[in-house]
């Protein structure tokens, strides 16, 4: 996504701004990731957080996505429960502290992305409920 010379200086106000800056090889994957997340989280608020597209539910950022030169990714925090729950499915992908990377030369794992988004939404709802009750 980042052949743009001012990429490091760009800031995005909307998801549309972010997508418009994507290069032609990454944009279709970003649009597909957006579609998958919006389908999995129909009530989530779409926003920009840490300068990448993010989806908030119950006041919590549930999931984000991003595009890079060699991969696209979904990002979220905390990761421990998600990584443990989907350990088998994630073996095929590189992960980092808060992201799962999907190489551009492989198909997007549509079902996995949707399942992770729904799992994270349930975590966010549980966190919000605990916060409201003070536990």
pLDDT string in tens for the chain (135-residue length): 444 444 457 899 999 999 999 988 899 999 999 999 999 999 999 999 999 999 999 889 999 999 999 999 999 998 899 999 999 999 999 999 999 999 999 999 999 999 999 999 999 998 888 877 776
Q: Is 54 helix (H, G, I), strand (E, B) or coil?
A: strand
Q: Does residue 115 contact residue 86 with C-beta atoms inside 8 Å? A: yes
Q: Which residue is listed with tokens 């551009």?
A: 104
Q: What secondary structure letter does DSSP report for 9? A: G
Residue 61: partners with Cβ closer than 8 Å, 6 or more residues away: 49, 54, 55, 76, 77
Residue 135 covered by a domain: no
Please work out, in degrees rounded to the nearest 5, the angle formed at the alpha carbon of residue 88 by the alpha carbons of 43 and 71.
65
The CATH number that applies at residue 101 is 3.90.1150.200
Domain that holds residue 67: 7-128
Number of residues that this document lists for the chain: 135
Domain count within the chain: 1
The closest of 47, 65, 45, 44 to 122, measured between CA atoms, is 44
Single pTM value for the model: 0.89
């Amino acid at each position: 996504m980042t052949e743009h010379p001012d990429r490091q200086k760009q800031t995005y106000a909307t998801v549309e701004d972010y997508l418009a800056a994507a290069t032609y090889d990454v944009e279709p994957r970003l649009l597909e990731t957006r579609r998958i997340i919006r389908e999995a989280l129909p009530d989530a608020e779409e926003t920009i957080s840490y300068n990448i597209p993010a989806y908030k539910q119950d006041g919590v950022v549930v999931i984000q996505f991003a595009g890079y030169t060699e991969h696209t990714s979904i990002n979220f925090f905390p990761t421990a429960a998600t990584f443990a729950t989907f350990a088998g499915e994630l073996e095929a992908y590189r992960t980092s502290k808060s992201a799962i990377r999907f190489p551009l030369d492989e198909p997007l794992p549509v079902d996995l992305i949707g399942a992770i988004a729904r799992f994270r939404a349930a975590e966010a709802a549980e966190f919000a409920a605990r916060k409201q009750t003070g536990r």
